[in-house]
Amino acid sequence: MSARYAIGIDLGTTNSVLAFASLESDTPLVELLSIPQLVAPQTLERRESLPSFLYLARGGETEAQEFDLPWAESRDFAVGEVARSQSSENPDRTVGTAKSWLCHSRVDRHQAILPWKAPVNMVQISPVTASQRYLEHLVAAWTQAFPDAPIAQQQIVLTVPASFDASARELTREAALSAGLPASLVLLEEPQAATYAWLSSSGDDWRKSLTAGDRLLVCDVGGGTTDLTLVAAGAEDGDLQLRRQAVGNHLLVGGDNMDLTLAYHVSELFREKGTDLDPWQSVSLWHSCRAAKETLLAADGAETQTISVAGRGSRLVGGSVSVEVHREDVARILVDGFFPECDITDQPSRQRVSGFQEIGLPYEADTAITRHLAAFLQRQTEEDSPDSPAPTHLLFNGGVFKSDRLQQALLDRLSHWYGDAAPRILGGTHDLDYAVGRGAAYYAWTSQRGGIRIRGGTPRSYYVGVETAGLAIPGTPRPMSALCVVPHGMEEGTEADVPSEEIGLVIGESAGFRIFSSSSRPDDVPGDKLLHWSPDELVETDSMETTLNSDGDEGDDYVPVRFQSRITELGIFELSCVHTTTGESWKLEFSVRDDAEV
């Protein structure tokens, strides 16, 4: 049975969305699925998005069936709005940023480690399982709405940050398959999905907005992450084509950091008035600050706004305290903290200055998105001709940019760097909250029915750590070189034999390799061997391993191999060791790094 629906799933750090379009209609009409979810125990309501939170229930709550759903009984956990509302009062039972953990290769993402550092005897869950639970909920919501169109038979596109490396993508895929999504699932980078959403809203008019030689900068600031992507327009065979040129590093800074920073400022104002807020009040303050950020920083925002925090008990007016917050202070704090003035030659600071960071996750030391952007653009300049052109167009995505002042702050930096050549905002309608899900559904639709595709291949190059030959010095590890196995931009559905010296692997034993990736070395080709690199250039990810159970009985206890890499049609990175004479091959699987924290 062929697919009837194109489905796009945005598995977000803080919110998840499912959008869909009928494949039977001749134009892609993308709709959002309203998602039934618990908003309080035993209270089911439909919402446009599913907060990506998971609450681990108490025994009594499970027994009383407080978190049961129409499709699940005796649930010992809950996801969605009800879980999010528990995060303030029950932090040791609530999992928040599971997605940010998926790309943190310093921990084993299959281990039950969340909530991070929960007290002993508390139940924990792995980042992969938490992600699976969110997706299972979306699948169940789909099944409720469309019982006649099983999700496993539909065309599914799931989005991931462009900055996710191969192992984070593989873990996302694993969670998706466990949740009942089909193996034909395609992963799409979020900034590309936002671009597709723009393409779908512009229809054929997009060719009037972009011309050959244009370079589109997609700046996607989500709740927890910032994702940068550069898309180039070029003429191929007389038609305009889009090509994803580069993606930024994984930046753990986003809208939540801004809301927290603002909440910290406001809680200081309360302290000056002699009021210390309890944790529950702090979270309610956080929500008020998010709203204030949007209203105060709107183009026609008021000069001041009163922010109040209600009393904890039933006395609301009597227990409430309030402070005046000034628009200029808020703008200064957020612009200085996240969009400060800087030169395009500036680099992000490595010195950790900010006070907030959740222990465990490697949050950015420098929260200045403008400096990360400068470094990203600077890298593109170095690689092309000395004076590579400025981006010509700009596409914003993410709820942060509902604040006009923050859009303006970023535009100001770009015009400071590029003067008259600064990029213009792409015209058309922008749905900052749902563009990724909508764009994914549109992409899924065009993959069946035809339409413009952004090409680009792998956003990173990949390397295997190989010990260099030479005399061993006792007590000293052999120096390691990095062998390029996948070049930047390797297209889906292609493979590469990696030229190298023969590598000897012992039969019957597990062979493990350290794996590195780079988003800043577009010129390396398979077989290139790097002896030195800076920590910024090559980032280590999960190791890969395989066990060699050879059928051949040549009497040798080791086999000579070389590497062969492959990017599947679905964009999955595969690496194999191939026997140099018999051609027998062993596929490597991702595993956990030796230096992972336990």
User: Interface residues with other proteins (CB under 8 A)?
Assistant: 39-46, 64, 68, 288, 291, 306, 308, 310, 314-318, 320, 322
Q: Among residues 285 and 426, whose Cβ is nearest to other proteins?
A: 285
Least separation in angstroms between CB 535 and other proteins = 44
Q: Among residues 39 and 507, whose Cβ is nearest to other proteins?
A: 39
Least separation in angstroms between CB 355 and other proteins = 26
DSSP state of 40: E
Whether the bond between 115 and the residue before it is cis, its omega within 30 degrees of 0, is yes
Please count the other Cβ atoms lying within 10 Å of the Cβ belonging to residue 27.
11
DSSP state of 502: -
Contact by Cβ (8 Å): 437, 159:
yes
Q: Among residues 431 and 545, whose Cβ is nearest to other proteins?
A: 431
Q: Among residues 66 and 346, whose Cβ is nearest to other proteins?
A: 66
Q: Among residues 308 and 582, whose Cβ is nearest to other proteins?
A: 308
Least separation in angstroms between CB 347 and other proteins = 41
Least separation in angstroms between CB 595 and other proteins = 37
Q: Among residues 294 and 574, whose Cβ is nearest to other proteins?
A: 294
Least separation in angstroms between CB 172 and other proteins = 31
Least separation in angstroms between CB 313 and other proteins = 9
Contact by Cβ (8 Å): 209, 393:
yes
Contact by Cβ (8 Å): 29, 19:
no
CA quadruple 152, 173, 460, 18: dihedral positive or negative? positive
- Alpha helices, DSSP H only, in 339-403? 369-383
Least separation in angstroms between CB 214 and other proteins = 40
Q: Which two tokens stand for residue 15?
A: 């919110």
Q: Which two tokens stand for residue 569?
A: 């049609």
Least separation in angstroms between CB 133 and other proteins = 20
Give the span between the Cα atoms of 69 and 86, in whole angstroms.
Answer: 18
Q: Among residues 3 and 78, whose Cβ is nearest to other proteins?
A: 78
Least separation in angstroms between CB 43 and other proteins = 5
270: left (phi over 0), alpha (psi -120 to 50) or beta: alpha
Q: Among residues 76 and 589, whose Cβ is nearest to other proteins?
A: 76
Q: Among residues 69 and 559, whose Cβ is nearest to other proteins?
A: 69
Q: Among residues 112 and 291, whose Cβ is nearest to other proteins?
A: 291
Least separation in angstroms between CB 22 and other proteins = 23
Least separation in angstroms between CB 290 and other proteins = 12
Q: Among residues 61 and 524, whose Cβ is nearest to other proteins?
A: 61
Q: What is the 3-state secondary structure (H, E, C) of 234-297?
A: EEECCEEEEEEEEECCCECCCHHHHHHHHHHHHHHHHHHCCCCCCHHHHHHHHHHHHHHHHHHC
Contact by Cβ (8 Å): 164, 42:
no
Q: Among residues 315 and 332, whose Cβ is nearest to other proteins?
A: 315
35 contact partners, CB below 8 Å, separation of at least 6 = 18, 46, 47, 48, 49, 50, 80, 137, 138, 141
List C-alpha distances in Å: 109 to 115, 171, 174, 227, 352. 13, 8, 11, 22, 25
Give the span between the Cα atoms of 158 and 173, in whole angstroms.
Answer: 9
* Coil/strand/helix, residue 7: strand
Contact by Cβ (8 Å): 14, 224:
yes
Least separation in angstroms between CB 360 and other proteins = 24
Give the span between the Cα atoms of 161 and 389, in whole angstroms.
Answer: 25
Start-to-end Cα distance in the chain: 46
* Coil/strand/helix, residue 9: strand
